[in-house]
Amino acid sequence: MGRLALEGVKKSFGGVDVIRGVDLAIRDGEFVVMVGPSGCGKSTLLRLIAGLEPVTAGRIEIDGRDVTALEPVDRRLAMVFQSYALYPHMTVRGNMAFGLETARVPKPEIDAKVAEAARILALEPLLDRLPKQLSGGQRQRVAIGRAIVRDPVAFLFDEPLSNLDAALRVQTRHEIAKLHRSLGRTAVYVTHDQVEAMTLADRIVVMDAGSVRQFDTPEALYHRPADLFVAQFIGSPKMNVLPARAADGGVSILGGPPVAVPLPSRGRAPTQLGVRPEHLEFAAPEAGALTGTVSDVEYLGADSIVFVAHAEGTEVTLRVPGRAPVRVGEAVGVAISPAAVHLFDGEGRALAGGER
């Protein structure tokens, strides 16, 4: 129960292609997070899965059954939105029961389901309150409760935490993770938040302009991004990307001394080198693969972000533990560990490298 499959799904609005042929196979019980830039089609794809919009082409299956032409109620999915859209004149209990009442579920069954959802979400003391008497986090829990009572085969979440403040986001994120562990239901979850994506997901879908760039585990996206887009989208601060070319004994960045990265023996030549800020270290100016001048230092407590400007006009970002041992204006070298290097060809496709 809860297997979702999308095959060649497309959606156009008035001739504009918003979803350009998406194939996805989501396993039963899997927590899948969708990320991508604003406007890339995440909400649209979720609405297509839910049946709130008809597809322009393609097929959607739930547990092997073609549901492409089915109404939302017949798909047995539950959607939780960013705006909780609770009925303001109904209590928490009333809000959770409403969908079941309209579906004419017998009263004792409704009571049992609401009680169970309230227990899971720790909403029992709040059942007789109105939405206006709740905090944002509590309202979002009611919205999730409304989804739980329907006993869906899968949950669809569209940025459910983005209206909450930072502390409440963290807390509610833990609650969603716990909920998923206890219910074991398939979830498709859209977010803009890197931490939510990395921590909640079994697998992450990275979307760009209506297409899936990569669908893989958080580890794979971080260590083995398929292309430059994914490489720079996952990770914060984002991966440094520098012009590079094959040189004797490895790859040279901006004409500097070669970094000893093993190159693919034949085929596409590397034109760009990627390395994450946390995989760079300071070195003596003459010893680094790169040299430059420190242009800014951001001290964050546990670590510091340092920006180094290279003479060629490029800038690299380093993340170093604690307080950085450098000052703005200082000339520094930057050492690159070959094991942490990603190489890309002229079309931005990954060639080799990263931690495998």
Say how many residues touch ligand ATP, by CB under 6 A.
Answer: 10
Q: Which one of the spans 24-32, 37-45, 149-157, 263-271 is the region binding ligand ATP (CB under 6 A)?
A: 37-45
The yes or no reply on residue 12 touching ligand ATP (CB under 6 A) is no
Q: How far apart are CA 222 and CA 231, in angstroms?
A: 7
Query: Could you tell me how many residues make up the chain?
Result: 356
Least Å distance, CB 189 to ligand ATP, is 13
- By a kind-dependent CB cut-off of 5 to 8 A, residue 39 interacts, out of ligand ATP, Mg ion, none, with ligand ATP
Tell me if 43 contacts ligand ATP by CB under 6 A. yes
CB of 55 to ligand ATP, least distance (A): 13
- The identity of residue 139, as a single letter, is R
347: buried, middle or exposed (CB in 10 Å: 19+, 13-18, 0-12)?
A: exposed
Interface with Mg ion (CB under 5 A): 43
CB of 106 to Mg ion, least distance (A): 37
Judged by DSSP in three states, 286 sits in coil
Supply the minimum distance, in Å, between the C-beta of residue 20 and ligand ATP. Answer: 11
Choose among 355, 354, 349: nearest CA to 267.
349
Pick one of Mg ion, ligand ATP, none as the site partner of residue 102 (Cβ within 5 to 8 A by kind): none
Lookup: tokens for 156: 């669809």
Q: Which of 162, 197, 194 is nearest to 177 (CA)?
A: 197
User: Contact with ligand ATP (CB under 6 A): which of 1, 23, 25, 39?
Assistant: 39
314 CB-near residues (< 8 Å, 6+ apart): 242, 243, 254
Least gap, CB of 39 to ligand ATP (angstroms) = 4
Does 213 participate in binding ligand ATP (rule CB under 6 A)? no
Q: Which of 80, 30, 34, 47 is nearest to 196 (CA)?
A: 34
Q: Which of 5, 6, 18, 92 binds ligand ATP (CB under 6 A)?
A: 18
Beta carbons of 30 and 205 less than 8 angstroms apart: no
Please identify, using beta-carbon distances, which residue of 158 and 227 lies nearer to Mg ion. 158
Which one of Mg ion, ligand ATP, none interacts with residue 41, CB within 5 to 8 A by kind?
Answer: ligand ATP
Name the minimum Å distance from CB 193 to Mg ion.
13
Residue 294's beta-bridge partner residues?
308
Q: Is 249 near ligand ATP (CB under 6 A)?
A: no
Of 31-39, 211-219, 271-279, 287-295: span binding ligand ATP (CB under 6 A): 31-39
13 in contact with ligand ATP (CB under 6 A): yes
**According to the binding rule CB under 6 A, does residue 156 interact with ligand ATP?**
no
**102 is a site residue for ligand ATP (CB under 6 A):** no
Residue 325: burial class (beta carbons within 10 Å; 0-12, 13-18, 19+): exposed
Between 36 and 270, name the residue whose CB sits nearer to ligand ATP. Answer: 36
Side-chain-side CA neighbours of 193 within 13 Å: the count stands at 18
Least Å distance between CB 42 and Mg ion?
5
Q: Which is nearer to Mg ion, 43 or 272 (CB)?
A: 43
Output 109-116 pairs: Cβ under 8 A, ≥24 positions apart: 110/149, 113/149, 113/151, 114/145, 114/149, 116/148, 116/149
Name which of 2 and 41 has its Cβ closer to ligand ATP: 41
Determine if 42 is a binding residue for ligand ATP (CB under 6 A): yes
Q: Shortest approach of Mg ion to residue 159 CB, angstroms?
A: 6
- Residue 177 and residue 160: Cα distance in Å, rounded? 13
The pair of structure tokens assigned to 31 is 């927590």
Interacting residues toward ligand ATP by CB under 6 A: 13, 18, 36, 38-44
